[in-house]
Amino acid sequence: MIGLAKGQQILDKIKVQSKIGHGTLYLLDTGIAVEVSGSGLFLELSYGEILSSAAKKDSLVISWTEGVSTYDIKFSIKNATETVQKINQHKKTIS
């Protein structure tokens, strides 16, 4: 289980798989966090840092910028379209 900042809440937990391994994508009230089984926290982004989230049938791609470089990570996930909708909904709520 990931550590949360004071007052931070988990809105949803989704099992995912990526090139890093199996894990959990947490939709938080402030952003997303990805925990890899056996390795701990792998990625944490606020909704404002997420440039895009795209879905195809059973895959989710999340993009973000660090400095002048843009990165993305692909997750194998059930109901990817529904997850993208949830991320976009939370992004709008925060904005």
Q: Please give the C-alpha separations between residue 62 and each of 5, 6, 7, 38, in angstroms, as whole numbers.
A: 23, 26, 25, 22
Is the per-residue pLDDT at 63 higher than 70?
A: yes
Architecture field, domain 10-94: Roll (2.30)
**Per-domain boundaries in the chain:** 10-94
Is the per-residue pLDDT at 94 higher than 80?
A: no
Residue 66: which residues within 8 A CB-CB, separation 6 or more? none
pTM over 0.85: yes
Q: Please give the C-alpha separations between residue 54 and each of 17, 62, 94, in angstroms, as whole numbers.
A: 16, 7, 19
What's the pLDDT at 95?
Answer: 59
Tell how strand 31-36 and strand 21-28 pair up. antiparallel
